[in-house]
Amino acid sequence: MPANRHAPLVSREPLDAAYFVLTFRHPEIAATAHAGQFVMIKAGLSVEPPLRRPFSILGVDAKEETFSLFIKAVGAGTRALVRLTEGEVAQCLGPLGRPFTKPAAGTEALMVAGGYGIAPFHLFATELRAEGWIGRVFYGGRTVNDLQLRDRFQELVPLVPATEDGSHGHRGRVTAPLLAFLEGTRGPARLYACGPDPMLHAVARIAEDRGLDAEVSLDPWMGCGIGTCLGCVVRTQHEDEARAKYRCACTEGPVFDASLVVWPDETASRARRRAKVEA
Amino acid sequence: MSLAVEIGGLRLKNPLIAASGTFGYGVEYEGLMDLSLLGGLVSKGLYLEPRDGCPTPRIVETPAGLLNAIGLQGVGVRAFVADVLPRLARYDTAVLVNVCGDTVEEYAEVTRIVDDAPGVAGVEINISCPNVKKGGMAFGGDPRMTAEVVSAVRKATRRPVIPKLSPNVADITVFARVCEETGADAISCINTLLGLAIDVETRKPRLAFGTGGLSGPAIRPVAVRMAWQAARAVKIPVIGIGGITSGRDALEFLIAGCRAVQIGTSNFVDPGLYERILPELRDYLERHQLKHVGEVVGTLEYPGLPVSTEVVS
């Protein structure tokens, strides 16, 4: 059950390029959060900016009763958060939403991250590692500056970096090394993706082409995080539904089965199209 | 000391009501707050049938405000009555249903279904949603249509009837009076202000619907002014709505003449706000040596300058 409380900032770690790792004390999140879940958080009590912001949970420490977020200071809400000093509080509600589904035993978890979409995969890799499962992270960005957490997976899972300008790892989009890996792989695999929508759609297509299961973490504008404002809806369609429905990313996601998502330039979900072909 | 208020035959244990469209169907907040803290809650707007609502993006943040075009996505009144009302019955709070319609007949039909349902304290009439093509603001922007809808709903229920007025009119007192004359027990003022936010890079509206409804602290002075005008124009109680985030904000509406208030956008920001605002109200009554919150209502000392008569008339 999510809890709403004032969470004091415990540590503030500035990285390069306006990225930060912020750690807050919040016992319920620390004790119960799973990878893919998120928090709604806002610095202090001021009315400006009005809304809390959603962030994927980067990591938890049950013993210290803390959790961490990976934040890029880009607007008023994020700038206010990274300006907090230790001991100052944020209004924080969480953990919220549907987490990633763990892969079956022996199935490799292939995690595809774009930029700050890396955040949930650190917690996911930690969970997988603790249970002895295997995984691999494909981490893409425009430049090396977008790969701020690239050194934090060393103890967890192999990491394959890619940058569009070639400043680190593979030159080009992150889906290229993913495809190359899938060409060579023999064991069963399941895809997970978090990042910009075009990247999520590309991963969904790759999964569809290869008959792989995939989950995507969507990141629409969110107002409340608990399913009341209906601002964050995404169109999804189960195979037995004639029409796509708007579903709240905050309560029915943010992690969705990629085959259920109706992407912006499409009229039906992969699951529905498949069901119609088979019928 | 008492925070209890009475609105058109409806007794509330305190003047704080969760506003329609900002509180889901109430049950979403189970576990995050004690719903029995509320004086009342108003359901998301309900039509006869489920509705999809607007395409996305549906919300955009603006200075101290929120611009939305949700378009009344909802489960339909029958699902609400069957699935939600029984769950709300365990809480000690007044449940009001916000009724919508594409036609006058639909408003009446939704109201009849609600009237038969147990656990409904009153009916709020949505004649002010700016984000639907039919109904909504189209009814609330025309005094004759307002009269038709309010009369039809009045005939369809024994419960208190509370039209929710649009601020997107030249003179809200005209609509307040029409509601009073056609049988409303109270009025809610105000719904969202029609707004437009533009992405200058794409030169398109930032909301998929185009325009949207503005809410939040940004609109509070406008809301207080309109609720004040409405309260002076009619004898039925006025429920003030617009940008309340604190006890002081709520008191502005009460002093302006509102018998109760609704809290909207702030529900999205802080589910803990009722626990914060109720003690603020009690503290205010204590400091001003008042026994009953009703003693604050309509106590505005407005300067008697000539300009005020122009504003009010």
> Could you read off the pLDDT of B84-120 as tens digits, one per residue?
999 999 999 999 999 999 999 999 999 999 998 999 9
Residue from the list B29, B63, B268 with its beta carbon closest to the beta carbon of A51: B268
Q: Looking at beta carbons, which residues of chain A come within 8 Å of B275?
A: none
CB contact under 8 A, A47 and B73: no
pLDDT at B311: 53
Residue B132 Cα, gap to closest chain A Cα (Å) = 15
Residues of B with CB below 8 A from A229's CB? Answer: 22, 59, 68, 70, 268
In this prediction the ipTM stands at 0.92
Residue A220 in contact with partner chain B when CB distance is under 8 A: yes
- pLDDT above 90 covers a percentage of chain B that reads 90
Q: Is residue B200 part of a domain?
A: no
Residues of chain A found within 8 Å of residue B57, distances taken between Cβ atoms = 220-221, 231
In a domain, B76, yes or no: yes
CB A193 within 8 A of CB A219: no
* Cβ–Cβ below 8 Å for B269 and A42: yes
Give the number of domains in chain B.
Answer: 1
Residue B207 lies in a domain: no
Q: Supply the residues of B annotated as catalytic.
A: 129
**pLDDT for the residue numbered B245:** 96
Which architecture, in CATH terms, is A100-217? 3-Layer(aba) Sandwich (3.40)
Put simply, the answer to whether B66 touches A51 (Cβ < 8 Å) is: yes
Q: B153: domain CATH number?
A: 3.20.20.70
**Residue B59, domain member (yes or no):** no
Spell out which chain B residues touch chain A, with contact meaning CB-CB distance below 8 angstroms. Answer: 22-24, 28-29, 31-33, 44, 52-53, 56-61, 63-66, 68, 70, 73, 216-217, 245, 265, 267-272
Q: Residue range B22-42: average pLDDT?
A: 96
Q: What pLDDT band is residue B307 in, cutting at 50, 70 and 90?
A: low
Binary contact (A245, B52; C-beta < 8 A)? yes
| B135 within domain boundaries | yes
Least CB-CB distance to A50: which of B31, B57, B265?
Answer: B265
pLDDT digits (tens, 9 = 90+) for B130-142: 777 777 778 989 9
Please tell me which residue of chain B has the smallest CA distance to A75.
B61
Residue B153 is assigned to a structural domain of this protein: yes
Report domain extents, chain A.
3-96, 100-217, 220-279
Report residue B305's pLDDT band, with 50, 70 and 90 as the boundaries: low
Per-residue pLDDT, averaged over B246-275, amounts to 97
- Determine contact, residues A135/A110, Cβ cutoff 8 Å: yes
pLDDT of residue B313: 46
pTM: 0.94
Domain that holds residue B113: 5-53+70-194+215-312
- Residue-level pLDDT, tens digit, chain A, 279 residues: 899 999 999 999 999 989 999 999 999 999 999 999 999 999 987 788 999 999 999 999 999 999 999 999 999 999 999 999 999 999 999 999 999 999 998 899 999 999 999 999 999 999 999 988 889 999 999 999 999 999 999 889 999 999 999 999 999 999 999 999 999 877 899 999 999 999 999 999 999 999 999 999 999 999 999 999 999 999 999 999 999 999 999 999 999 999 999 998 888 999 998 888 877
Q: Is residue B201 part of a domain?
A: no
Distances (CA, A) of A98 to A60, A104, A235, A239, B229: 17, 18, 16, 20, 47
**Domain A3-96: which CATH class?**
mainly beta
Tokens of B306: 């000539």
pLDDT over 60 at B306, yes or no: no
Is B18 within a domain? yes
Rounded to a whole number of angstroms, the distance from the CA of A27 to the nearest CA of chain B is 15
Asked if the Cβ–Cβ distance from A231 to B52 is below 8 Å, we say no
- A226/B271 Cβ within 8 A: yes
pLDDT category at B308 given cuts 50, 70, 90 is: low
Average pLDDT for residues B143-167, to the nearest whole number?
97
